[in-house]
Amino acid sequence: MPELPEVESARAAIERSALRRTIADVDDQDTYVCRPHAPGEIREALVGRQLTAAHRRGKSMWVTTSRPGPSLGLHLGMAGRIIVTSPDGDTVEGGDPIRRGGSEPKAEWDRFTITFESGAVLRLFDKRRLSRARLDPDVDALGPDAAEVRLPELRELLARGTAPLKARLLDQSALAGVGNLLADETLWQARLDPRRRVDTLDADEVATLHRALRRATRAAIRHGGVHTGEVIGHRRRGEHCPRCGAEMSRGTVGGRTTWWCPQEQR
Protein backbone atom coordinates (compact mmCIF):
# COMPACT_ATOMS: atom_id res chain seq x y z
CA MET A 1 0.00 0.00 0.00
CA PRO A 2 1.35 3.47 -0.78
CA GLU A 3 2.71 5.08 2.36
CA LEU A 4 3.65 8.68 3.09
CA PRO A 5 6.63 8.81 0.65
CA GLU A 6 4.58 7.50 -2.28
CA VAL A 7 1.72 9.89 -1.56
CA GLU A 8 4.20 12.75 -1.34
CA SER A 9 5.49 11.87 -4.82
CA ALA A 10 1.91 11.99 -6.13
CA ARG A 11 1.31 15.34 -4.44
CA ALA A 12 4.53 16.69 -5.94
CA ALA A 13 3.45 15.52 -9.43
CA ILE A 14 0.24 17.54 -9.11
CA GLU A 15 2.10 20.55 -7.76
CA ARG A 16 4.61 20.42 -10.59
CA SER A 17 2.29 19.93 -13.55
CA ALA A 18 -1.43 20.34 -12.76
CA LEU A 19 -1.83 23.65 -10.90
CA ARG A 20 -3.15 26.89 -12.38
CA ARG A 21 -4.71 25.15 -15.37
CA THR A 22 -8.42 25.71 -16.08
CA ILE A 23 -10.49 22.53 -15.87
CA ALA A 24 -12.45 21.76 -19.04
CA ASP A 25 -13.89 18.37 -18.16
CA VAL A 26 -13.96 15.71 -15.44
CA ASP A 27 -14.65 11.99 -15.78
CA ASP A 28 -16.20 10.99 -12.46
CA GLN A 29 -18.34 8.11 -13.73
CA ASP A 30 -16.78 5.41 -11.53
CA THR A 31 -19.37 5.31 -8.77
CA TYR A 32 -17.19 3.21 -6.44
CA VAL A 33 -14.05 5.37 -6.65
CA CYS A 34 -16.10 8.60 -6.49
CA ARG A 35 -18.51 7.51 -3.75
CA PRO A 36 -20.56 9.02 -2.15
CA HIS A 37 -20.93 11.40 -5.11
CA ALA A 38 -23.31 10.71 -7.98
CA PRO A 39 -21.84 10.72 -11.51
CA GLY A 40 -21.40 14.31 -12.62
CA GLU A 41 -21.37 15.82 -9.13
CA ILE A 42 -17.60 16.26 -8.92
CA ARG A 43 -17.54 17.41 -12.55
CA GLU A 44 -20.11 20.10 -11.87
CA ALA A 45 -18.12 21.35 -8.87
CA LEU A 46 -14.78 21.53 -10.70
CA VAL A 47 -15.31 22.53 -14.34
CA GLY A 48 -14.18 26.11 -14.92
CA ARG A 49 -12.02 26.20 -11.81
CA GLN A 50 -8.28 25.73 -11.38
CA LEU A 51 -6.35 23.54 -8.97
CA THR A 52 -4.47 26.00 -6.79
CA ALA A 53 -2.41 24.03 -4.25
CA ALA A 54 -1.67 20.36 -3.48
CA HIS A 55 -1.59 19.30 0.17
CA ARG A 56 -0.86 16.11 2.10
CA ARG A 57 -1.14 14.85 5.66
CA GLY A 58 0.14 11.33 6.11
CA LYS A 59 -1.36 9.18 3.36
CA SER A 60 -4.20 11.64 2.63
CA MET A 61 -3.92 14.16 -0.20
CA TRP A 62 -6.18 16.99 -1.28
CA VAL A 63 -6.08 19.86 -3.76
CA THR A 64 -7.66 23.27 -3.24
CA THR A 65 -9.52 24.98 -6.08
CA SER A 66 -10.07 28.55 -7.21
CA ARG A 67 -12.71 31.28 -6.54
CA PRO A 68 -12.67 29.69 -3.77
CA GLY A 69 -14.13 26.29 -4.44
CA PRO A 70 -14.31 22.86 -2.86
CA SER A 71 -11.19 20.85 -2.17
CA LEU A 72 -10.65 17.65 -4.12
CA GLY A 73 -9.47 14.66 -2.10
CA LEU A 74 -7.45 12.00 -3.92
CA HIS A 75 -6.58 8.80 -2.06
CA LEU A 76 -4.31 6.23 -3.70
CA GLY A 77 -5.85 3.20 -2.01
CA MET A 78 -3.63 0.11 -2.27
CA ALA A 79 -1.94 0.72 -5.60
CA GLY A 80 -3.03 4.07 -7.04
CA ARG A 81 -0.89 6.43 -9.06
CA ILE A 82 -1.30 10.04 -10.20
CA ILE A 83 -0.30 10.64 -13.84
CA VAL A 84 -0.24 14.15 -15.33
CA THR A 85 0.28 14.36 -19.09
CA SER A 86 1.08 17.73 -20.67
CA PRO A 87 -0.26 18.83 -24.09
CA ASP A 88 3.02 17.81 -25.73
CA GLY A 89 2.87 14.32 -24.24
CA ASP A 90 5.40 14.71 -21.42
CA THR A 91 4.37 12.80 -18.29
CA VAL A 92 4.92 13.49 -14.61
CA GLU A 93 3.71 10.84 -12.18
CA GLY A 94 3.89 9.65 -8.61
CA GLY A 95 2.35 7.17 -6.22
CA ASP A 96 2.61 3.41 -5.98
CA PRO A 97 5.86 2.28 -7.67
CA ILE A 98 5.55 0.63 -11.08
CA ARG A 99 6.28 -3.10 -10.81
CA ARG A 100 8.32 -4.76 -13.53
CA GLY A 101 6.62 -7.57 -15.37
CA GLY A 102 3.12 -6.32 -14.61
CA SER A 103 0.15 -6.26 -16.94
CA GLU A 104 -0.01 -3.73 -19.75
CA PRO A 105 -2.01 -0.66 -18.61
CA LYS A 106 -5.66 -0.61 -19.66
CA ALA A 107 -7.83 2.43 -20.26
CA GLU A 108 -10.39 1.25 -17.72
CA TRP A 109 -7.77 1.51 -14.98
CA ASP A 110 -8.03 5.30 -15.24
CA ARG A 111 -10.57 5.67 -12.42
CA PHE A 112 -10.88 9.46 -12.34
CA THR A 113 -9.71 11.98 -14.94
CA ILE A 114 -9.42 15.77 -15.15
CA THR A 115 -8.93 17.33 -18.59
CA PHE A 116 -7.65 20.90 -18.71
CA GLU A 117 -8.35 23.54 -21.36
CA SER A 118 -4.67 23.41 -22.35
CA GLY A 119 -5.04 19.75 -23.29
CA ALA A 120 -3.17 18.48 -20.24
CA VAL A 121 -4.75 15.54 -18.39
CA LEU A 122 -4.58 14.39 -14.76
CA ARG A 123 -5.43 10.72 -14.20
CA LEU A 124 -5.97 8.67 -11.07
CA PHE A 125 -4.69 5.31 -12.32
CA ASP A 126 -5.55 2.27 -10.22
CA LYS A 127 -5.59 -1.33 -11.41
CA ARG A 128 -7.18 -2.52 -8.15
CA ARG A 129 -9.97 0.13 -7.99
CA LEU A 130 -9.41 0.91 -4.31
CA SER A 131 -8.52 4.58 -4.77
CA ARG A 132 -10.89 7.45 -3.98
CA ALA A 133 -11.82 10.84 -5.39
CA ARG A 134 -14.19 12.99 -3.34
CA LEU A 135 -15.01 16.58 -2.54
CA ASP A 136 -14.02 18.24 0.75
CA PRO A 137 -12.43 15.21 2.48
CA ASP A 138 -12.27 15.28 6.28
CA VAL A 139 -8.67 15.00 7.55
CA ASP A 140 -9.30 16.28 11.08
CA ALA A 141 -9.15 12.78 12.59
CA LEU A 142 -5.55 12.30 11.46
CA GLY A 143 -2.61 12.78 13.79
CA PRO A 144 0.40 14.96 12.98
CA ASP A 145 2.22 14.19 9.75
CA ALA A 146 5.05 11.70 10.29
CA ALA A 147 7.44 13.71 8.14
CA GLU A 148 6.84 16.88 10.18
CA VAL A 149 6.10 15.65 13.72
CA ARG A 150 8.14 17.45 16.37
CA LEU A 151 9.93 15.64 19.18
CA PRO A 152 7.59 16.91 21.94
CA GLU A 153 4.57 15.71 19.92
CA LEU A 154 6.13 12.28 19.42
CA ARG A 155 7.03 12.07 23.09
CA GLU A 156 3.43 12.87 24.04
CA LEU A 157 1.82 10.32 21.74
CA LEU A 158 4.20 7.60 22.96
CA ALA A 159 3.45 8.41 26.60
CA ARG A 160 -0.20 7.41 26.30
CA GLY A 161 -1.22 3.81 26.96
CA THR A 162 0.68 0.54 26.76
CA ALA A 163 0.41 -0.40 23.07
CA PRO A 164 3.30 -2.08 21.27
CA LEU A 165 5.59 0.49 19.70
CA LYS A 166 4.88 -0.54 16.12
CA ALA A 167 1.12 -0.56 16.70
CA ARG A 168 1.30 3.05 17.91
CA LEU A 169 3.33 4.11 14.87
CA LEU A 170 0.69 2.54 12.60
CA ASP A 171 -2.20 4.33 14.33
CA GLN A 172 -3.12 7.06 11.85
CA SER A 173 -5.06 9.00 14.49
CA ALA A 174 -1.83 9.26 16.49
CA LEU A 175 0.70 9.71 13.69
CA ALA A 176 -0.33 10.05 10.05
CA GLY A 177 1.58 8.42 7.23
CA VAL A 178 3.50 5.46 8.67
CA GLY A 179 2.63 2.12 7.09
CA ASN A 180 3.99 -1.36 7.60
CA LEU A 181 7.25 -0.99 5.68
CA LEU A 182 8.13 2.47 6.97
CA ALA A 183 7.49 1.30 10.53
CA ASP A 184 9.85 -1.65 10.16
CA GLU A 185 12.53 0.52 8.53
CA THR A 186 12.24 3.21 11.21
CA LEU A 187 12.40 0.78 14.12
CA TRP A 188 15.33 -1.06 12.56
CA GLN A 189 17.21 2.22 12.15
CA ALA A 190 16.38 3.17 15.75
CA ARG A 191 17.36 -0.32 17.00
CA LEU A 192 14.06 -0.64 18.88
CA ASP A 193 12.00 -3.81 19.25
CA PRO A 194 8.59 -3.33 17.56
CA ARG A 195 6.98 -5.29 20.42
CA ARG A 196 8.18 -2.89 23.12
CA ARG A 197 5.43 -1.16 25.09
CA VAL A 198 5.37 2.54 24.29
CA ASP A 199 5.51 3.45 27.99
CA THR A 200 8.88 1.71 28.45
CA LEU A 201 10.86 4.09 26.22
CA ASP A 202 13.11 6.60 27.95
CA ALA A 203 13.80 10.13 26.71
CA ASP A 204 16.94 9.14 24.78
CA GLU A 205 15.14 6.31 23.00
CA VAL A 206 12.28 8.61 21.97
CA ALA A 207 14.79 11.09 20.58
CA THR A 208 16.53 8.29 18.67
CA LEU A 209 13.19 7.14 17.29
CA HIS A 210 12.34 10.68 16.21
CA ARG A 211 15.63 11.01 14.31
CA ALA A 212 15.17 7.60 12.70
CA LEU A 213 11.62 8.41 11.61
CA ARG A 214 12.68 11.65 9.95
CA ARG A 215 15.69 10.02 8.32
CA ALA A 216 13.76 7.00 7.01
CA THR A 217 10.87 9.12 5.74
CA ARG A 218 13.06 11.65 3.97
CA ALA A 219 15.27 8.96 2.43
CA ALA A 220 12.20 7.13 1.08
CA ILE A 221 10.83 10.34 -0.44
CA ARG A 222 14.21 11.10 -2.00
CA HIS A 223 14.79 7.60 -3.39
CA GLY A 224 11.32 6.84 -4.71
CA GLY A 225 9.38 5.00 -2.03
CA VAL A 226 9.46 2.89 1.12
CA HIS A 227 10.65 -0.15 -0.85
CA THR A 228 14.09 1.53 -1.05
CA GLY A 229 14.72 1.28 2.71
CA GLU A 230 17.91 -0.38 3.93
CA VAL A 231 16.22 -3.30 5.68
CA ILE A 232 13.19 -3.75 3.40
CA GLY A 233 14.87 -6.22 1.05
CA HIS A 234 15.78 -8.37 4.06
CA ARG A 235 12.18 -8.81 5.27
CA ARG A 236 11.91 -12.47 4.26
CA ARG A 237 12.73 -15.92 5.56
CA GLY A 238 16.40 -16.79 5.60
CA GLU A 239 17.51 -13.16 5.27
CA HIS A 240 19.91 -11.51 7.69
CA CYS A 241 20.27 -8.08 9.26
CA PRO A 242 22.37 -5.94 6.91
CA ARG A 243 24.18 -4.42 9.93
CA CYS A 244 25.13 -7.34 12.17
CA GLY A 245 24.29 -10.43 10.12
CA ALA A 246 21.81 -11.95 12.58
CA GLU A 247 18.93 -13.85 11.01
CA MET A 248 15.81 -11.67 10.84
CA SER A 249 12.87 -12.50 13.12
CA ARG A 250 9.25 -12.49 11.99
CA GLY A 251 6.05 -11.97 13.96
CA THR A 252 2.73 -10.13 14.03
CA VAL A 253 2.54 -6.75 15.75
CA GLY A 254 -0.43 -4.44 15.52
CA GLY A 255 -2.09 -6.95 13.21
CA ARG A 256 0.71 -6.62 10.63
CA THR A 257 3.53 -8.93 9.57
CA THR A 258 6.66 -7.53 11.17
CA TRP A 259 10.39 -8.17 10.72
CA TRP A 260 13.18 -7.13 13.08
CA CYS A 261 16.76 -7.93 14.08
CA PRO A 262 16.67 -9.97 17.32
CA GLN A 263 20.26 -9.07 18.10
CA GLU A 264 20.11 -5.29 17.83
CA GLN A 265 16.45 -4.27 18.27
CA ARG A 266 15.67 -4.27 21.96
Residue (of 14, 218, 101, 164) closest to 226 by Cα position: 218
Contacts of 150 (CB under 8 A, 6+ apart): 144
- pLDDT 10s digits, 116-157: 999 999 999 999 999 999 999 999 999 999 999 999 999 999
The residue from 135, 160, 185 where one domain ends is 135
What is the reported pLDDT for 63? 98
Contact 29, 43 (CB under 8 A): no
114 and 171 inside one domain: no
- pLDDT 10s digits, 54-67: 999 999 999 999 98
Mean pLDDT of the chain: 95
185 and 113 inside one domain: no
89 and 196 inside one domain: no
Residue (of 220, 138, 223, 121) closest to 178 by Cα position: 220
Q: What mean pLDDT do residues 176-196 have?
A: 97
- pLDDT 10s digits, 14-46: 999 999 999 999 999 999 999 999 999 999 999
31 and 106 inside one domain: yes
User: Is 102's pLDDT higher than 90?
Assistant: no
User: Is 101's pLDDT higher than 60?
Assistant: no
Residue (of 263, 227, 220) closest to 245 by Cα position: 263
User: Is 175's pLDDT higher than 80?
Assistant: yes
119 and 194 inside one domain: no
8 and 120 inside one domain: yes
**Which position has the higher pLDDT, 96 or 49?**
49
Question: What's the domain count of the chain?
Answer: 2
Confidence tier at 97 by pLDDT (50, 70, 90):
confident
Helix (H, G, I), strand (E, B) or coil at 44: helix
- Whether 223 is covered by a domain: the verdict is yes
Q: For the chain, how far is it from start to end, CA to CA, in angstroms?
A: 27
130 and 8 inside one domain: yes
126 and 163 inside one domain: no
48 and 72 inside one domain: yes
- Whether 265 is covered by a domain: the verdict is no
Distance from C-alpha of 147 to C-alpha of 150, rounded to nearest angstrom = 9
Length of the chain: 266
pTM as predicted: 0.92
- Whether 75 is covered by a domain: the verdict is yes
